[in-house]
């Protein structure tokens, strides 16, 4: 037996069949154990969630909805999927839940299919200002098949709701999307609903990044206001990779048809079982404590970075995500993300508003606290992490080996303080 505890049995089974894959999985386990994970869209699932993902449910084909399948032998997956639906509705206070989307992007695609037709006008946050590909990017289905009107953030890194209203009144969209993949402020869903009502548009709230904060009351919920709410389950919700659509009961039948047969075939029932487990975990008192710590850790990291002389878009964070603005240092997000990886910290390059660099280079780095909070990091650890990041920024263009080695040692000490998947 190795030092990998719960993972060792699964790895041993894979080794007997495919040593090459087993070795790579083992290397990935080591990487996760020995790296400070600050990618805002990543997290560490529980062992129960991982076990469900690898269960016999992967063998079952189950096109259709629970108790209305096109295949026989679905009596067990029907009950599992129904559990996931019930728990999703309870967690968010929603009228209807579809737990079949394979991803957040496909959840959004299903909403598009139900709510609008190709060529219709849709409003969403610009990708370079913090939106998501599926909110209207020209390289995504949303931008290719719909007339997109984009809104962004002001010089303070905040959504200008008056500007959103002006755009809506001018362009009369049929669907307005609120929510973001990189926005550090509280979103005023009520204001968005007022704007949507004024132009008779549907409102879609994409809460993929803030789902856990919404579920636990640390961020206002869009459920009372939005026609549709989409989320992933693998970010702050700490579940498997997948998506969920919540909606008003009046839209339930249409949304269900849009998911299947509209944009997907058979649902991944092993992943839906893992979603059900994650949703149960999210309903626990411990999860609410976790969500609060996510915010405390993010604020501590932001404060540490600012104290080290670095700029953050919007001047800080009110949720779990923040973006380093490296223009003052004349550094690129690409270089900084690469040196951070050498130093044992994983993050991703990201554009900043009015970025002079290309999306492949960028002037920013996005950081998030969900994964390290799962691991056990507290505010003091985030302060130290901020100091490591600040030192890495200074040497991002030279990558001085001695300094990189010292930073790697410091990050590894934090990782060893909070072992991952070892029991």
- What CATH number does residue 67 fall under? 3.40.640.10
Residue 214 is predicted with a pLDDT of 98
In a domain, 41, yes or no: no
Residue 2 is predicted with a pLDDT of 40
80 and 183 in a single domain? The answer is yes
Residue 206 annotated to the active site: yes
Residue 31 annotated to the active site: no
**Rounded Cα distance, 278 and 291, in Å:** 14
127 and 194 in a single domain? The answer is yes
For the chain, the domain total comes to: 2
Choose the catalytic residue: 26, 63, 311, 406.
63
C-alpha distances in Å from residue 137, one per residue of 123, 149, 152, 234, 266? 11, 10, 13, 22, 27
State pLDDT tens for residues 372-382.
Answer: 999 999 999 99
DSSP type of residue 255: H
Domain carrying residue 86: 56-282
State pLDDT tens for residues 72-91.
Answer: 999 999 999 999 999 999 99
- The model's confidence at residue 168, banded by pLDDT at 50, 70 and 90, is very high
- The model's confidence at residue 305, banded by pLDDT at 50, 70 and 90, is very high
In a domain, 49, yes or no: no
- pLDDT reading at 5 higher than 80: no
State pLDDT tens for residues 282-302.
Answer: 999 999 999 999 999 999 999
362 and 295 in a single domain? The answer is yes
Last residue within a domain, chosen from 262, 282, 302: 282
296 and 249 in a single domain? The answer is no
In a domain, 311, yes or no: yes
- The model's confidence at residue 11, banded by pLDDT at 50, 70 and 90, is confident
136 and 258 in a single domain? The answer is yes
State pLDDT tens for residues 24-42.
Answer: 999 999 999 999 999 999 9
Residue 10 is predicted with a pLDDT of 84
pTM listed for this prediction: 0.94
300 and 404 in a single domain? The answer is yes
State pLDDT tens for residues 224-263.
Answer: 999 999 999 999 999 999 999 999 999 999 999 999 999 9
325 by DSSP, 3-state: which? Answer: strand
Choose the catalytic residue: 69, 174, 185, 235.
235
**Cβ-contact 376, 418 below 8 angstroms:** yes
327 and 273 in a single domain? The answer is no
State pLDDT tens for residues 124-145.
Answer: 999 988 899 999 999 999 999 9
**Measuring CA to CA, which residue among 214, 212, 228, 157 is closest to residue 41?**
212
Q: What is the mean pLDDT of residues 192-202?
A: 98
Residue 61 annotated to the active site: yes
**Measuring CA to CA, which residue among 412, 249, 276 is closest to residue 344?**
412
84 and 200 in a single domain? The answer is yes
230 and 362 in a single domain? The answer is no
- pLDDT reading at 422 higher than 90: no
Q: What is the mean pLDDT of residues 406-420?
A: 97
Residue 341 annotated to the active site: no
138 by DSSP, 3-state: which? Answer: coil
Last residue within a domain, chosen from 282, 308, 335: 282
In a domain, 102, yes or no: yes
In a domain, 130, yes or no: yes
**Rounded Cα distance, 222 and 214, in Å:** 8
**Rounded Cα distance, 161 and 174, in Å:** 18
**Cβ-contact 116, 109 below 8 angstroms:** no
- What CATH number does residue 365 fall under? 3.90.1150.10
Residue 423 is predicted with a pLDDT of 75
- The model's confidence at residue 155, banded by pLDDT at 50, 70 and 90, is confident
**Rounded Cα distance, 328 and 347, in Å:** 20
120 and 196 in a single domain? The answer is yes
In a domain, 175, yes or no: yes
370 and 236 in a single domain? The answer is no
Choose the catalytic residue: 206, 318, 325, 355.
206
Last residue within a domain, chosen from 248, 282, 316: 282
298 and 186 in a single domain? The answer is no
């Amino acid at each position: 037996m190795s030092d990998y505890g719960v993972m060792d049995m699964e790895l041993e089974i894979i080794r007997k069949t495919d040593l090459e894959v087993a070795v790579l999985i083992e290397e990935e386990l080591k990487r996760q154990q020995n790296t400070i994970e600050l990618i805002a869209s990543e997290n560490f699932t529980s062992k129960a969630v991982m076990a469900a993902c690898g269960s016999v449910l992967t063998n079952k084909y189950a096109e259709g909805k629970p108790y209305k399948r096109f295949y026989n032998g679905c009596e067990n997956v029907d009950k599992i999927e129904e559990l996931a639906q019930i728990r999703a509705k309870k967690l968010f206070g929603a009228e209807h839940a579809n737990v079949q989307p394979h991803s957040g992007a496909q959840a959004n695609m299903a909403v598009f299919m139900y709510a609008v037709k190709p060529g219709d006008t849709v409003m969403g946050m610009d990708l370079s200002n913090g939106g998501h590909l599926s909110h209207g990017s020209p390289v995504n289905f949303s931008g290719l098949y719909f007339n997109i009107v984009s809104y962004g953030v002001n010089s303070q890194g905040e959504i200008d709701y008056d500007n959103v209203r002006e755009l809506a009144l001018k362009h009369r969209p049929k669907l307005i999307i609120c929510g973001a993949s990189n926005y550090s402020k509280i979103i005023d869903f009520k204001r968005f609903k007022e704007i949507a009502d004024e132009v008779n548009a549907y409102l879609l709230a994409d809460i993929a990044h803030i789902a856990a904060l919404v579920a636990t009351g640390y961020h206002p919920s869009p459920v009372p206001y939005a026609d549709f709410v989409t989320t992933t389950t693998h970010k702050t919700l700490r579940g498997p990779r997948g998506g969920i659509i919540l909606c008003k009961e009046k839209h339930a039948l249409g949304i269900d048809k849009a998911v299947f047969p509209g944009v997907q075939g058979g649902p991944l029932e092993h992943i839906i079982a893992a979603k059900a487990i994650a949703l149960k975990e999210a309903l626990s008192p411990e999860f609410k404590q976790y969500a609060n710590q996510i915010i405390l850790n993010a604020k501590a990291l932001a404060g540490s970075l600012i104290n080290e002389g670095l700029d953050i878009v919007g001047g800080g964070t009110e949720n779990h995500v923040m973006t380093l603005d490296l223009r003052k240092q004349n550094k690129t997000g690409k270089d900084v993300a690469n040196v951070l990886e050498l130093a044992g910290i994983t993050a991703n390059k990201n554009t900043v508003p009015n970025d002079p660099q290309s999306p492949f280079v960028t002037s920013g780095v996005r950081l998030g606290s969900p994964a390290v909070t799962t691991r056990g990091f507290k505010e003091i650890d985030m302060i130290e992490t901020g100091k490591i990041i600040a030192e890495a920024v200074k040497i991002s263009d030279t990558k001085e080996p001695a300094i990189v080695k010292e930073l790697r040692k410091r990050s590894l000490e934090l990782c060893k303080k909070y072992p991952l998947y070892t029991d």
